[in-house]
Every structure is written in C-alpha cells, then in structure tokens.
Amino acid sequence: MSNSLQLSIGYHVRKGSMLDSPDWLAVTQTAAQQDPYVALQDVCICIPRLLERTDKLPATDPSQEAIDELIKDSQALAARGYEWFTNFERDGPRYSRAPVAEMEGFLDICSDIVFDPVFEFHSFGAGICYLIYWMSMLIMQSNTFKLLRQHRQLQPRELFMWDRELSGYADNICRSVPYNCRPSIGYVAKFGSLTPLMVARKYFEAKKAEKELKWCMTVYQSARVPGLYSSPISMEPLKAVQRLAQNSNRYL
C-alpha cells in the first residue's frame, strides 16, 4: 500500500500506522534529503497519530498532562511542516498566478468566479506537493485549534491569526484545483486534487461560507472522468478509502 493511500486512510479513520515509526522513517531519511515529496510524506504521515491521540482523550476530565503533551507534539509537527515549506520555496514559489479564465476548460466545469486568480504550477509534481501540504496542514491545524479552544483561553488576536492560517490553506487548495482540471494534464491530476478539495469543502461548511462551499461542490461533481462513474460521484471520497482499508485488514 502506497504512502499516499495510507496517508488518506489515516486522515479518514484518524489512526496512526507503522509508517510513522522511527524504524520506518529511518529507511526514508536518505531519500527525504533528496526528494521534497518524500520529505513531505515523512511529515504528514505523523498527523494521523495526533488525530488518534485526540480521539482517545477522555470525553470528561482528560488529564492536563495528556492535553499539554498532545498540543506540544502538534505544534512541533507543525513547525516541521513550516520548515519543509520554507525549504520547498527556498528559490521562490513554484507557481505563478493566472486568471482563472486562462485555465483551459475550467469555466466549462464551474462558471462561478469565486477564486481568481488561480495557481499555475511550474510542474505537476510541484502542484501535488503543494496540495498535500495545504490539505495536511489544514487537517492538523484544525485539530490543534480545536484542542486550544477547548482547553486554553485564546485571545481575540490569536483567534484572528488561527482563522487567517486555516482560511489560507483552504483558499490555496481551491486556487490549485483549476490547474489540475485542465484536459491537457490528464486524469491523474484530477484524482490528486479532489480529496484536498473535499477537505477545503468541510472547512467552508464549518465556517458557513456558502459561496465557497457551493463552488467546491460544483467543481467536485463536474470534474469527473468521463465514463468512469455509473452513478453520481460521492461527496465523501474517503469513505471508499476506508472500505478499502477495512477489506485489507481482513487479510492481515
């Protein structure tokens, strides 16, 4: 099972895997120094464990020590994510900004001009790295923000900063999607952008951002591969991933 699939399963079922173990990460350490995609995966694969630990906190009266340790570990992993991003953009952003109307065929998919301009990545690989990063940080930091709101007293300025960070991840995901929906880039790009798009959708749904939410749903339903689906495509793509994980576990 690939790291990307294992990562998607981990995000949905909120459970860690053997891929975040020190022994496994030691195997990929050399490759991570050469390949930013591998380095990013090594950061992101640790996020499901934080989600699992969050869910295991007692519903009533969790220990302060457990809460503090979880928040500390979450902040440390976020710092690793920021560091990866800084290294990734050491020579500047790996995209330019372009009017959404210049993205081949996108306005045929969704004519609502909600996100404009959008990102035109320097390469397909760069775009996928950005999408995984923004999706993963949105998932992790949303979880950390929830913990802080429940167990700490946040000041108005802190609330504003958190809102700006989380909104930025969701916004960046949506500005990435048109590039991946161009007919010339192929169907793999569509698959790579639909799960991050649904993570952004959930964020906009929680914020009651109706305009952005509608855009996400329209794009998701329209950016399908012709002839692949015999019934309306699910708005919860990770449910299929969860079923795959459950079926795989039967043979372990």
As a whole number of angstroms, the distance between CA 250 and CA 248 comes to 5
119 close to 94: Cβ distance less than 8 angstroms: no
Report pLDDT for 27. 85
As a whole number of angstroms, the distance between CA 171 and CA 173 comes to 5
Q: Kindly report, residue by residue over 24-68, the tens digit of the pLDDT.
A: 888 888 888 889 999 999 999 999 999 999 999 987 778 999 999
Helices (H) and strands (E) in the chain, counts: 11, 2
Report pLDDT for 129. 95
Phi-psi region of 14 (alpha: psi -120 to 50; beta: other; left: phi over 0): left
Q: Kindly report, residue by residue over 171-201, the tens digit of the pLDDT.
A: 999 999 999 988 887 766 677 788 899 999 9
As a whole number of angstroms, the distance between CA 247 and CA 109 comes to 34
Report pLDDT for 62. 85
| Whole-number Cα distances in Å, 57 to 45, 50, 153, 214 | 21, 11, 19, 34
Query: Residue 245 pLDDT more than 80?
Result: no
Report pLDDT for 33. 87
At 248, give phi and psi (nearest 5°).
-65, -35
Q: What is the enclosing helix (H) or strand (E) of 120? A: strand 118-121
At 121, is the secondary structure helix, strand, or coil?
A: strand
Report pLDDT for 237. 47
Whether this prediction's pTM lies above 0.85 is answered by yes
Mean of the per-residue pLDDT values of the chain: 87
176 close to 106: Cβ distance less than 8 angstroms: no
Q: Mean pLDDT throughout 202-206?
A: 96
The one-character DSSP state at 234 is P
Report pLDDT for 120. 97
CB atoms within 10 A of CB 217: 17
Taking every pair of C-alpha atoms in the chain, what is the biggest distance, in angstroms?
Answer: 54
Query: Residue 251 pLDDT more than 50?
Result: no
Amino acid occupying residue 119: F
Q: Kindly report, residue by residue over 107-127, the tens digit of the pLDDT.
A: 999 999 999 999 999 999 999
Query: Residue 229 pLDDT more than 50?
Result: no
Query: Residue 80 pLDDT more than 70?
Result: yes
